[in-house]
């Protein structure tokens, strides 16, 4: 049986051109509606109208236009200048529709540009079959962007011989890496084929020869005016282009977010890049070659070359970008916001900045906006009259080895093993090792290093030792980096009265090594006029070269009205042998504690008089302690420990008892608690390891926890290491805390005990968190020479255990290897 088909069934399927034409016609009507209703309405309606129109354009097979419309949803109603930006994008879409309507009459190059902006694909084979441009291509820089369903990267090239710029676009699906092979700062000899268009920039690599070498300083750099002239020619043929590459010579930053070239012309930097600390640090405000993208938002730097060395741009600053200047005339914006349905618009001329545009005849608003936008962008002129930043002083200290600088950049960029806490410890170790070696960090790293010091005060002193003159110069230009000026050791102050706080403190610190008496004289001379903060910090420098010659000023400070000054003086006087403060406290202690017939007799003080208060005894006891016990504890804590070990007059003989003897006498006494805690606090204040060890051996369990752990800090490293190793082998719960107190590097005995415990815990512990904690502690404190042993242990465990149990051990080996390489680079 046959079936006859009616001729009416055979209808022609619409071609892609028909679908695109229908979509563009619908887009024209939609744009006209937006302008008639007013941009204010579009700002209130949210993203849905844009999403609906974009979906229609996808159906019409105009993907590039669909993407442009979808992006408009993020502009409408957002930011201070949203109406100006939205009207400009509407105008460019209207211009694209006009170009599509005239495709048949346009020259082939312009028609190819329009088709590309709509989304018609051009096959790679077709591009590669076209003419080839052979040159040595310099890779200037890259910009990566998240375009929703795809991640994109644009790479800018410049031909050394032809002077021609090229754009390589690469894409990757979410979660997939972008292709490699094009490394900024390097170059290659090869052939490019350019996509067709009126102002062709996008290209494909047709052939690439094996040689690939760094670009010393790229060839072809020019002035701002030359770059803007190229930009004007570019958007004449492709008015929808938003950015163009520039290679600029002799560029120096200026205040206000500008770059100034060798001719005195200036251009603004784009938001996020308008404080170019990376360039100031690398070049020290000396003229540099800079690669950048120019757009209506300003210059987006890609990289710089300083003395022939490639310097990548730092990441853009976060935060709300400044609004910038409107690109369109105010009369156009006013009419578009209200809507031409309420306020019809018609004009034959437009004023854009200093330019008057003759439209020839009254035009529709969007057509006029397109003319104004493109003419305004093409007619940009550089500014003048801006003063470049004054150059940095010459560096007098050699730069650290390049490998060490690269390691520091890795640490600051989050590339070290072990996570955030371990990164901070590794950074501190790098800084200490670098300061011991001598030298300054590579200048380009300074902004990240100063930021790290801003966040972490514990590394500031070491940062000051490796930042050099360039670091101090840079810190002086930014308020939140000025801490470096207070840490750095400046030149001696010429005039003490007019010198800055940082200069005076640096001068005092230097004098304490060479002429301590002069330091006392200077600080005492302006004592009454100085701030409390400076008095306290000035006294703190006396810890170097502390002697009885400092006592008069320290004793004077005990009467200071500010607590921080009094506490600084007390801390120093308690460490000063022979000080009157110690003698006064010793006299009180002898009156309160004595031997009678071999029996310990205790009569604690009963009153907190003004003299006792002046000598540092506070009025507020620890909760649960009576007044007598508290006063006894504080008097004993302030007494020099030599008081107890020296000869004792009286019927009980001249021999001193020593720490163990006194602790034994006090153990069963009614006043044992305040006596033991007083001796413990004195051992901490006076850094006496013998008393600390005796107290921990005999009375560790009876001491308050805070006092007990403070005593551990006084122990010699070897003694602390033996305690930690014993705690590990006996599975004492305090082992981890003891390890944390040991600053490292651990001695061999402790390191071996830790590795034995690591193996045991990996094989037997039910949970791995204790293993992970132990490995993290070992990673930064164990000598890096144990990296090979830790690696072999990880390999042995990997053959029999679950990977989750092996992972912390492998991470330990990786951290130790990292530290070994780090220290070798600084040798």
| The pLDDT value given to residue 201 | 95
Task: Give alpha helix (H) positions in 255-343.
Answer: 277-283, 330-338
| The pLDDT value given to residue 646 | 60
Assigned token pair, 483: 């801490």
**Mean pLDDT score, 362-387:** 88
**Mean pLDDT score, 393-412:** 94
The band of 494, judged by pLDDT with boundaries at 50, 70 and 90, is low
**φ, ψ (nearest 5 deg) of residue 197:** 165, 170
Reference 515, options 490, 488, 492; nearest CA is 492
Task: Give alpha helix (H) positions in 82-154.
Answer: 82-101, 108-118, 124-128
3-class secondary-structure state, position 260: strand
**φ, ψ (nearest 5 deg) of residue 52:** -65, -45
**Mean pLDDT score, 791-798:** 94
Reference 93, options 61, 69, 58, 128; nearest CA is 69
Indicate the range of 162-166, 202-206, 420-424, 809-813 predicted with least confidence. Answer: 420-424
The band of 310, judged by pLDDT with boundaries at 50, 70 and 90, is very high
**Between these two residues, 477 and 209, which has the higher pLDDT value?**
477
Check pLDDT > 50 for residue 435: yes
Check pLDDT > 50 for residue 651: no
Check pLDDT > 90 for residue 354: no
Assigned token pair, 791: 């690696």
Per DSSP, 758 falls in state: H
The band of 370, judged by pLDDT with boundaries at 50, 70 and 90, is very high
Distance CA 249, CA 269 (A): 16
| The pLDDT value given to residue 325 | 80
Indicate the range of 50-64, 100-114, 263-277, 504-518 predicted with least confidence. Answer: 504-518
Task: Give alpha helix (H) positions in 515-579.
Answer: 516-525, 532-540, 551-557, 563-574
Indicate the range of 208-217, 277-286, 355-364 predicted with least confidence. Answer: 355-364
According to DSSP, the residues that pair with 204 across neighbouring strands are: 193
Assigned token pair, 187: 């170059």
Check pLDDT > 90 for residue 434: yes
Q: Are 142 and 184 in contact (CB under 8 A)?
A: yes
Locus of tokens 């003698």 = 583
**Mean pLDDT score, 693-700:** 88
Q: What is the full DSSP assignment across 23-49?
A: HHHHHHHHHHHHHHH-HHHHHHH-SHH
Longest dimension (CA), the chain: 138
| The pLDDT value given to residue 7 | 43
Residues 2-40: tens digit of each pLDDT: 334 444 434 455 788 999 999 999 999 999 999 999 999
| The pLDDT value given to residue 42 | 87
Distance CA 542, CA 513 (A): 10
**φ, ψ (nearest 5 deg) of residue 578:** 85, 0
Check pLDDT > 50 for residue 612: yes
**Mean pLDDT score, 598-610:** 88
**φ, ψ (nearest 5 deg) of residue 121:** -75, 150
Check pLDDT > 80 for residue 592: yes
Indicate the range of 44-53, 197-206, 312-321 predicted with least confidence. Answer: 312-321
**Mean pLDDT score, 55-69:** 93
Distance CA 809, CA 782 (A): 13
Task: Tell how far CA 633 is from the center of its chain.
Answer: 47
Reference 741, options 763, 766, 756, 719; nearest CA is 719
Q: Are 115 and 107 in contact (CB under 8 A)?
A: no
The band of 503, judged by pLDDT with boundaries at 50, 70 and 90, is confident
Residues 125-145: tens digit of each pLDDT: 999 999 999 999 999 999 998
464-502 burial by CB neighbour count: b if 16+ within 10 A, else e? bbbbbbbbbbbbebeeebebbbbbbebeebeebeebeeb
Indicate the range of 51-60, 286-295, 473-482, 607-616 predicted with least confidence. Answer: 607-616
Query: What whole-number percentage of the chain has pLDDT above 90?
Result: 67
Assigned token pair, 430: 């790098």
Residues 661-688: tens digit of each pLDDT: 899 999 889 999 999 999 999 999 999 9
| The pLDDT value given to residue 360 | 61
**Between these two residues, 349 and 562, which has the higher pLDDT value?**
562
Indicate the range of 128-132, 216-220, 305-309, 731-735 predicted with least confidence. Answer: 731-735
């Amino acid at each position: 049986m046959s079936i006859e088909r009616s001729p009416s069934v055979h209808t022609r399927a619409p071609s892609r051109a028909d679908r695109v034409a229908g979509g563009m016609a619908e887009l024209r009507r939609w744009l006209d509606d937006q302008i008639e209703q007013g941009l204010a309405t579009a700002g209130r309606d949210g993203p849905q109208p844009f999403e609906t129109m974009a979906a229609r354009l996808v159906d019409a097979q105009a993907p590039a236009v669909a993407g442009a419309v979808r992006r408009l949803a993020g502009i409408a109603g957002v930011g201070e200048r949203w109406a100006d930006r939205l009207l400009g994008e509407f105008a460019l879409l209207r211009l694209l529709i006009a170009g599509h309507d005239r495709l048949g009459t346009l020259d082939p190059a312009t028609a190819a540009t329009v088709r590309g902006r709509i989304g018609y694909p051009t096959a790679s084979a077709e591009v590669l079959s076209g003419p080839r441009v052979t040159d040595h291509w310099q890779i200037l820089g890259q910009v990566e962007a998240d375009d929703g369903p795809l991640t994109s990267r644009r790479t800018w090239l410049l031909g050394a011989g032809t002077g021609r710029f090229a754009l390589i676009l690469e894409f990757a699906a979410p979660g997939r890496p972008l292709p490699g092979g094009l490394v900024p700062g390097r170059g290659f000899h090869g052939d490019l084929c350019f996509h067709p268009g009126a102002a062709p920039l996008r290209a494909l690599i047709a052939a690439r020869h094996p040689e690939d070498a760094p670009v010393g300083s790229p060839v072809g750099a020019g002035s701002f005016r030359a770059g803007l002239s190229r930009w004007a020619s570019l958007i004449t043929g492709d008015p929808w282009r938003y950015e163009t590459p520039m290679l600029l010579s002799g560029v120096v930053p200026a205040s206000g977010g500008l770059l100034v070239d060798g001719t005195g012309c200036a251009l603004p930097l784009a938001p996020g890049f308008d404080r170019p600390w990376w360039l100031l640090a690398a070049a020290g405000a000396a003229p540099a070659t800079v690669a950048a993208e120019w757009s209506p938002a300003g210059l987006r730097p890609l990289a710089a070359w300083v003395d022939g060395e490639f310097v990548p741009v730092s990441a853009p600053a976060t935060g709300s970008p400044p609004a910038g200047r409107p690109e369109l005339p105010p009369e156009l914006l006013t009419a578009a916001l209200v809507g031409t349905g309420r306020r019809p618009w018609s004009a034959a001329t437009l004023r854009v900045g200093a330019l008057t545009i003759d439209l020839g005849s009254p035009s529709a608003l969007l057509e006029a906006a397109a003319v104004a936008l493109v003419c305004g962008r093409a007619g940009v002129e550089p500014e003048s009259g801006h003063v470049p930043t004054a150059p940095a002083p010459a560096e007098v200290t050699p730069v650290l080895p390049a490998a060490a600088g690269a390691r520091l950049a890795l640490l600051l960029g989050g590339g070290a093993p072990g996570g955030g806490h371990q990164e901070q410890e590794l950074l501190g170790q790098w800084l200490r090792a670098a300061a011991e070696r001598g030298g300054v960090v590579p200048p380009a790293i300074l902004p990240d290093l100063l930021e790290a010091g801003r966040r972490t005060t514990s590394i500031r002193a070491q940062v000051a030792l490796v930042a050099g003159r360039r670091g101090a110069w840079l810190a002086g230009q930014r308020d939140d980096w000025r801490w470096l000026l207070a840490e750095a050791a400046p030149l001696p102050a010429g005039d003490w009265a007019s010198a800055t706080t940082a200069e005076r403190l640096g001068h005092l610190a230097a004098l304490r090594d060479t002429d301590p008496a002069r330091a006392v004289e200077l600080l005492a001379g302006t004592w009454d006029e100085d701030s409390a903060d400076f008095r306290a910090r000035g006294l703190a420098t006396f810890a170097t070269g502390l002697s009885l010659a400092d006592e008069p000023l320290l004793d004077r400070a005990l009467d200071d009205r500010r607590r921080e000054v009094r506490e600084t003086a007390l801390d120093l006087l308690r460490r000063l042998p022979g000080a009157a403060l110690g003698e006064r406290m010793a006299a009180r202690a002898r009156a309160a504690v004595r031997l009678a017939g071999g029996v310990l007799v205790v009569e604690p003080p009963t009153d907190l008089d003004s003299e006792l208060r002046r000598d540092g005894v506070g009025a507020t006891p620890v909760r649960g302690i009576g007044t007598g016990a508290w006063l006894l504890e504080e008097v004993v804590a302030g007494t020099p420990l030599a008081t107890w070990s020296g000869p004792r007059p009286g019927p009980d003989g001249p021999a001193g008892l020593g720490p163990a003897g006194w602790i034994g006498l006090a153990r069963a006494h009614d006043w044992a608690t305040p006596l033991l805690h007083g001796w413990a606090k004195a051992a901490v204040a006076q850094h006496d390891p013998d008393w600390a060890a005796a107290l921990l051996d005999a009375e560790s369990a009876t001491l308050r926890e805070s006092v007990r752990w403070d005593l551990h800090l006084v122990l010699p490293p070897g003694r602390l290491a033996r305690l930690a190793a014993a705690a590990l082998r006996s599975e004492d719960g305090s082992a981890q805390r003891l390890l944390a107190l040991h600053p490292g590097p651990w001695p061999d005995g402790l390191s071996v005990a830790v590795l034995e415990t690591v193996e045991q815990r990996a094989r037997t512990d039910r949970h791995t968190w204790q293993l992970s904690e132990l490995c993290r502690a070992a990673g930064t404190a164990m000598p890096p020479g144990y990296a090979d042993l830790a690696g072999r242990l990880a390999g042995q465990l990997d053959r029999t255990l679950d990977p989750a149990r092996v992972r912390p051990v492998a991470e330990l080996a990786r951290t130790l290897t990292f530290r070994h390489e780090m220290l070798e680079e600084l040798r």
